[in-house]
Amino acid sequence: MLLSDAIKSYISTKYDQHPDTFARDLEIIDQLRKDAVTSLEPHASGTRKLQAYAAQLVWMGGKFPVDVRTATFWMSKLEE
């Protein structure tokens, strides 16, 4: 399961908006994650990929309230 799938589920249950409204943003987070996870080269370009993904996660952290059930759900979905 992709990170965007967990976020879509959260949006559809917690917010009064359809997740498709954020389709492009969700595609971007999935691509950033893929780039960061597959970046194995010990080079500045690999570091930039990790920084971009980390920055996006920090930004998203300000948009979604932290709650234990959600964090547990997201983490379980990332492990699948």
Which pair of structure tokens corresponds to residue 38? 């597959």
- The tens digit of pLDDT for each residue in 16-72 reads 889 899 899 889 989 998 888 887 777 777 788 888 988 888 888 777 766 535 555
What's the confidence (pLDDT) of residue 68?
39
Inter-helix orientation angle 68-79/3-14, to 10°? 150
Which pair of structure tokens corresponds to residue 18? 């359809």
